[in-house]
């Protein structure tokens, strides 16, 4: 099984990811891309995608990117997000990459885009630290 298919299996085992309709569209060593179709139940009162959905998307994409270099037993240690503009469009697209990694943690960054008519508009940027779990450390 290739890394993308493995990642899709992991994503499909996350109930919240299923709830928002997230799809892992690219996954390779040090990189991950996640897409979420924008539906009415993901919007806030002003018609933009809710910040919590963008935050979820950033967190998950960062963790996939970090897990691609640390192994599958990882969690988010911390992350921050900067919202740049309202996310309005048909899809949310998140591209994450590893900036630096060691044996037990990876620092990753991602950009979150709102997609409309095939055009991407940057709406948020996130930076996070992904850590291997103690379970993974005991198994290695």
The domains of the chain, with CATH numbers, are 3-139 (3.10.129.10)
First-to-final CA distance of the chain: 22
Residues 101-131 have pLDDT tens digits of 999 999 999 999 999 999 999 999 999 999 9
Q: pLDDT tens digit string along 49-91?
A: 999 999 999 999 999 999 999 999 999 999 999 999 999 999 9
Cα(124)–Cα(83) distance, rounded to whole angstroms?
Answer: 4
On the question of pLDDT at 140 being above 90, the answer is: no
Helix axes 3-12, 51-70, angle to 10 degrees: 140
- pLDDT of 138: 45
- pLDDT over 80 (residue 24): yes
pTM equals 0.93
Q: What is the mean pLDDT of the chain?
A: 94
The three-state secondary structure class of 2 is coil
- Is the confidence at residue 135, as pLDDT, over 90? no
> For residue 90, what are its two tokens?
């048909």
For residue 79, which of 66, 92, 93 has the smallest C-alpha distance?
66
């Amino acid at each position: 099984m290739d890394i993308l298919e493995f990642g899709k299996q992991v994503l499909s085992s996350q109930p919240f990811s299923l709830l928002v309709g997230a799809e892992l569209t690219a996954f390779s060593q040090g990189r991950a891309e996640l897409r979420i179709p924008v539906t009415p139940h993901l919007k806030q009162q002003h018609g933009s995608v809710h910040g919590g959905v963008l935050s979820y998307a950033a967190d998950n994409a960062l963790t996939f990117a970090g897990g691609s270099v640390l192994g599958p037993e990882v969690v988010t240690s911390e992350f921050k997000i900067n919202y740049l503009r309202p996310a309005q469009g048909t899809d949310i697209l998140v591209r994450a990459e590893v900036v630096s990694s060691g044996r037990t943690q990876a620092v990753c960054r991602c950009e979150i885009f709102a997609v409309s008519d095939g055009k991407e508009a940057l709406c948020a940027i996130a930076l996070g630290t992904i850590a291997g779990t103690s379970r993974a450390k005991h198994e290695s």
